[in-house]
Amino acid sequence: MTAKQKSISGVSFVGSGSAIPAQIITNDQLALRVDTNDDWISTRTGIKQRRVLGPDESFSDLCFQASISALEMAKWGPESLDLVLLATSTPNDLFGSAPKIQAKLGAKNAVAFDLTAACSGFLFALVTAAQFLRNGSMKRVLVLGADQLSSWVDWDDRKSCVLFGDAAGALLMESSEGNSDDLLGFKLRSDGSRGDCLNLFEKRHFQTLVNTNMYQQGGFSPIQMNGQEVYKFAVREVPLILQDLLKSHQIDPESLDWLLLHQANKRILDAVADRLRISHSKVLSNLANYGNTSAATIPLMLDEAVRHGKIVQGDLIASSGFGAGLSWGAALFRWHGPS
């Protein structure tokens, strides 16, 4: 990437894609492993099943498939991309998975890098990508949200393992012509002082290097979560940040076409909609089928809604991502779709 001539432009959302693993794990199947049941999981979370990557597929395959379907929707060639930005907490290479996806796509003109912000990652990446488009240094970007949390869940911890699944979602954004800007606004927040309630920490395992010198062997412990604290955080902060964003743009919640929230728990989605006085019919949800796929939930849901004709050109969407960090954010945008 080289810096092009600076000009201020807007952002247009032109294509979406997604990919899910073939392997389905139902609540009843999980009950064969841990002391749980379909009724408990469905009632408390809204989740009925999740997808888990098996031996015949990989994390990069999902990212690649999601990217290809978005590029086909927009009818863009991969070489037209300036950026491949991958939001993930579970890359298959800690040095970054985005360059591998860039290479596989043949997006030879794009710079590619990863961004980590757990379940807020996709929203943070969308806003990051928008800055390159707005300042005129890039024209076309691919933003991916993808996670393979199945690798980092403790499958014997019934309090957390029932929640998560794997998926990838993709969004294509373009700098818009003239004065139009489909990204009406955004707000991003972090509070590391409250981060202990949800983490995927390093393992503190030291080995002898030479003589008495030690080194820390790399590795991570499974996800640890205080579900009640995460729940309280989400139902407090998400309505507040959305209200704040809508108010600063003088938008009445009733005038939204869709509320597109990180799919963590059906009760969280309902509570946020109730606080904002938004009809539940405007709350997009596919939790029942996929569970919480972390950075993938928002683009996966967006893509499903676009392909099923729910979201149509011009729709006004308020979106919020939230999760570990703690981190949370909101964006207000209009869907444009392919020209």
Residues with a known catalytic role: 119, 262, 292
Q: State the Cα–Cα distance between residues 190 and 168, nearest whole angstrom.
A: 24
Instruction: State the Cα–Cα distance between residues 124 and 176, nearest whole angstrom.
Output: 20
In the chain, which ranges are E strands? 10-19, 24-26, 49-51, 83-87, 111-115, 140-148, 166-176, 183-190, 198-199, 205-210, 213-217, 224-225, 258-261, 316-323, 327-334
Nearest approach in angstroms of CB 178 to ligand ACO is 38
Kindly tell me which of 84 and 161 has the beta carbon lying closer to ligand ACO.
161
Residue of this chain nearest to ligand ACO (CB atom): 323
Give the residue with the Cβ less far from ligand ACO, 137 or 293.
293
CB of 295 to ligand ACO, least distance (A): 9
Cis, bond preceding 302 (omega within 30 deg of 0): no
**Closest CB to ligand ACO among residues 100, 266:** 266
What are the phi and psi torsion angles at 65 (to 5°)?
A: -60, -40
- Beta carbon of residue 223, minimum distance to ligand ACO (angstroms, whole number): 7
- 301 alpha-carbon distance from chain centroid: 10
Query: Residue 55 CB, nearest distance to ligand ACO (Å)?
Result: 24
The contact set with ligand ACO (CB under 6 A) reads 36, 40-41, 44-45, 118-119, 158-159, 162-163, 198, 225, 227-228, 230-231, 264-265, 292, 294, 323-324
169 is written with which tokens? 């979602």
Nearer to ligand ACO, 78 or 121 (CB): 121
Give the pair of three-digit tokens for residue 117: 């912000």
